[in-house]
Structure 1
Amino acid sequence: MTKEEVIEVIKRNIVDNLDDVEEGNIDPQKSMKDYGANSLDMIEVVSTSMRELNIKIPRAELADIANIDQLADKFMEYVDK
């Protein structure tokens, strides 16, 4: 799986969980907060994305992630392991 495919999974889950966000308008260099996500929204997007990608990442490893691109990088460390 490529990083672009991982980003598409994250984008799809952002669209599914946030109002008034279109997938084509999501910039991976921005954070989910930039699109109006609160902490519960972010947990749902991350959890749903991890289930879809069939990965499990300790929450502590996600604490310092600042944007969608960094989240995809972290997911890539666990994809296909």
Structure 2
Amino acid sequence: MDREQILNVVIKHIKLNVDGLENIEIDPQKTILQYGASSLDGVEIVSACMRELKIKIPRTEVSSFKTIDDLVELFTKCKNEVREEIKS
């Protein structure tokens, strides 16, 4: 799964969890809070993304992201590490 696919998963879950974003283009340089997400929405978005991507990241690592792009980068890194472990 490449970075663009992971970004699409994150955007999908943002739109599912925050009202009024159905027809809004999401800018990855912004935070989810800038789109009206509450901290609880943020937890649900991250959890749903991790379930769909089949990855586990400690909450302490996940809480360090600022922008949507940071979150996508973290998920991409984790997916790549899992892929490398499978190849080994």
In the superposition, the TM-score normalised over structure 1's length comes to 0.94
**Unpaired stretches in structure 2, ≥5 consecutive residues:** 83-88
CA separation in 2, counterparts of 1:23 and 1:55? Answer: 28
User: Does structure 2 conserve the Cα–Cα contact (< 8 Å) formed by 1:11 and 1:23?
Assistant: no
Given residue 9 of structure 1, which amino acid in structure 2 is its aligned partner? V
Matches within 5 A, 1:1-81: 1-22=1-22, 25-80=25-80, 81=82
Structure 1 segments of 4 or more deviating over 3 A?
Answer: none
Assess, with a 3 A threshold, how the Cα gap between structure 1 residues 41 and 4 changes in structure 2: closer, same or farther: same
CA separation in 2, counterparts of 1:23 and 1:30? Answer: 17
CA separation in 2, counterparts of 1:68 and 1:22? Answer: 17
Point out the structure with max Rg over C-alpha: 2
**Unpaired stretches in structure 1, ≥5 consecutive residues:** none
In the superposition, the TM-score normalised over structure 2's length comes to 0.87
User: Does structure 2 conserve the Cα–Cα contact (< 8 Å) formed by 1:12 and 1:23?
Assistant: no
Note the alpha carbon deviations across 1:35-61, whole angstroms, 9 max, x for none: 000110000000000000000000001
Percent identity of paired positions between Structure 1 and Structure 2: 43
Q: Which moved more, 1:71-80 or 1:43-52?
A: 71-80
How many residue pairs align between the two structures? Answer: 81
